[in-house]
Amino acid sequence: MVSRVIPVDPFDLVIFGGTGDLAKRKILPGLFRRFVSGQMPSEALIMGAARAKMNDTEYRDLVKIAILEFGSASLDEKLLVDFLDKVTYLRIDATGEAGWLELSQSMRNGPVRAFYFSVAPSLFGALAERLKKHKIALSDSRIVVEKPFGRDLESAKILNATLAAHFSEDQIYRIDHYLGKETVQNLMAVRFGNLLFEPLWNSQYIDHIQITVAEKVDVEGRGEYYNTSGAMRDMVQNHLMQLLCLIAMEPPAQFNPDAVRDEKLKVIRALDKVPPHHIVRGQYEASSDSFGYREHANDAKSRTESYVAIKAHVSNWRWAGTPFYMRTGKRLRSRCSEIAVVFKQPPHSIFGSEAGTHRNALVIRLQPDEGITMDMTIKEPGPGGMRLITVPLDMTFSEALGPAAEEVPDAYERLIMDVIRGNQTLFMRGDEVEAAWEWTDPIIKGWKERNDVPKPYDAGSSGPDDALMLLHREDRKWRPI
Ligand code: BG6
């Protein structure tokens, strides 16, 4: 299989927060990989912009170190030198006037202009205003903003209004990096590229759906941010809800930005309010060899959840009666993200009760070991009558597709290239983000009002026992993680 790399148009990309963690871990190494692949054209320019006093050479050293640490394993020195040649640095004051004239003078006429706001949301307004005031951003320029996009409906509305005062919706690219993952896009390919599943894709045939994003890591030095956020704001409001939308949405008429986002929005709006007994919050405990959440967050009384499991319902014609179980957490047994579509049992077993009854399940593994498994019921081999067993039909993408499956760009690389191409399909629209907060806000407020204390769980486990009960009491069970 040949990977087709089509170079994007020449661009000037300014990364505000160009010395920050995200720039170093994801944006700059990602751009380097796109350069190596031939997708980033040689006429492109990248400018890091931040408060620190630094010259181009010092910034290039920082970029080089970031690429060596977080970039590709094999590195071509010549390509790295060529890439660094396209990188410059500008000291700028986001809330003052210093640096803006210089930025304006360094923009070229012709290339696409994109501005990555890799900074705290409190600076979005100041940046947007100055980009417009100094005529640095043109009518077709793009801005890229990161999650968290607000911390509730009210703050998200304010942020949307702030950006909308200077930019039109088709210039605003709100990143949810899960949408940039290859296998997440595969969800749409599997659903809408095969005839096989669509007739069965409804509550008549599907018993329930499980969406799992389990992480082995702890809060990784981000305790201060995480403690004000928790799993609900950090993962559910964005990544898990996006996955739910892609599974539950109606087929859009076309794979274009508004058609796809209209359908996702309808799903979010059809979500029922979640009663408290359909949610389990958890917090990991210390173990003999690692700290617990409260130590990591440096808050001995923290009630922030590092785990959450939810039973949700999409109240529309297709899904009435089919629960969507979602769970995500840190410090769990393994890193495992998958979506399992569990079908109903056949209406009648011709083999009698001794043969056992089994359910088909379509499992889409997002990471690691990306692939698709279809659990099928077959006869247990050997003599002794008709006994049934379930075996997986397993397709691991790296085996099925060969080296091309290994060469796919990571989520950030793909999304930045989409910004330059002007394709918003994999970005969240303002109304979508607000609708997601509208659903999560009452859940978070409810915890606060009830002084809810998260259930403890052992680090390295599969989460709190109460989360198991969420399914057990309905005669279902979570897939192992
Ligand atoms: C981020 C969250 O958005 O996604 C992190 O802030 C989380 O807490 C991360 O670890 C997970 O992303 P991935 O791509 O590693 O699954």
How far is ligand 1, taken at its centre, from the CA of residue 423, in Å? 23
How far is ligand 1, taken at its centre, from the CA of residue 240, in Å? 11
Q: Which pLDDT belongs to residue 3?
A: 58
**Cα–Cα distance list, 293 to 66, 298, 332, 337, 428 (Å):** 28, 8, 12, 21, 30
Atom of ligand 1 nearest to the CA of 176: 3
Atom of ligand 1 nearest to the CA of 367: 16
User: What would the two tokens of residue 40 be?
Assistant: 């980033």
User: What would the two tokens of residue 394 be?
Assistant: 């397993």
How far is ligand 1, taken at its centre, from the CA of residue 221, in Å? 13
Say whether 239 is catalytic: yes
Atom of ligand 1 nearest to the CA of 215: 10
Q: Which pLDDT belongs to residue 405?
A: 67
How far is ligand 1, taken at its centre, from the CA of residue 100, in Å? 33
How far is ligand 1, taken at its centre, from the CA of residue 218, in Å? 11
User: What would the two tokens of residue 46 be?
Assistant: 């990248």
Domain boundaries, the chain: 11-146, 179-409+429-472
How far is ligand 1, taken at its centre, from the CA of residue 67, in Å? 20
Atom of ligand 1 nearest to the CA of 222: 8
Please tell me whether residue 197 adopts helix, strand or coil conformation. Answer: coil
Please tell me whether residue 76 adopts helix, strand or coil conformation. Answer: coil
- Active-site hit among 166, 177, 208, 239: 239
DSSP per residue over 311-340, as a string?
A: EEEB-STTTTT-EEEEEEESSBSS-EEEEE
How far is ligand 1, taken at its centre, from the CA of residue 153, in Å? 21
Q: Report which DSSP code applies to 108.
A: P
**Which residue has the least CA distance to atom 13 on ligand 1?**
178
Q: Which pLDDT belongs to residue 26?
A: 94
Residue 432 dihedral angles phi and psi, to the nearest 5°:
-65, -45
Written as one letter, the residue type at 213 is V
Indicate the top mutation candidate among 213, 219, 235 to test ligand 1's pocket, ranked by most ligand atoms within 8 A of CB: 235
Q: Could you give the residue ranges of the DSSP H alpha helices within 212-362?
A: 223-227, 230-231, 241-248, 257-269, 293-296
Sheet with strand 455-457: strands edge to edge: 388-396, 371-379, 361-367, 336-343, 206-214, 323-329, 307-313, 279-284, 455-457
Indicate the top mutation candidate among 234, 243, 428 to test ligand 1's pocket, ranked by most ligand atoms within 8 A of CB: 234
**Which residue has the least CA distance to atom 14 on ligand 1?**
178
- Residue in this structure with the two tokens 């009558």, named with its chain if needed: 385
**Which residue has the least CA distance to atom 4 on ligand 1?**
235
The CA distance from 254 to 403, in Å, is: 30
Indicate the top mutation candidate among 147, 151, 177 to test ligand 1's pocket, ranked by most ligand atoms within 8 A of CB: 177
Cα maximum dimension of the chain: 84
Q: Which pLDDT belongs to residue 398?
A: 77
What b/e string do you get for 373-412 counting C-beta neighbours within 10 Å, with b at 16 or more?
bbbebeeeeeeeeeeeeeeeeeeebeeebeeebeebbebb
How confident is the prediction along the chain (481 residues), in pLDDT tens digits per residue? 445 788 999 999 999 999 999 999 999 999 999 999 999 999 999 999 999 999 999 999 999 999 999 886 668 889 999 999 999 999 999 999 999 999 999 999 999 999 999 999 999 999 999 999 999 999 999 999 998 899 999 999 999 999 999 999 999 999 999 999 988 888 999 999 999 999 999 999 999 999 999 999 998 788 888 999 999 999 999 999 999 999 999 999 999 999 999 999 999 999 999 999 999 999 999 988 889 999 999 999 999 999 999 999 999 999 999 999 999 999 999 999 999 999 999 888 888 877 777 889 999 999 888 889 999 999 989 887 888 899 999 888 777 777 766 677 889 999 999 999 999 999 999 999 999 999 999 999 999 999 999 999 999 999 999 999 999 999 999 999 9
Please give the CATH number for the structural domain made up of 11-146.
Answer: 3.40.50.720
Indicate the top mutation candidate among 215, 307, 308 to test ligand 1's pocket, ranked by most ligand atoms within 8 A of CB: 215
- The CATH homologous superfamily to which domain 179-409+429-472 belongs is Dihydrodipicolinate Reductase; domain 2 (3.30.360.10)
Name all residues whose Cβ lies below 6 A of ligand 1: 215, 234
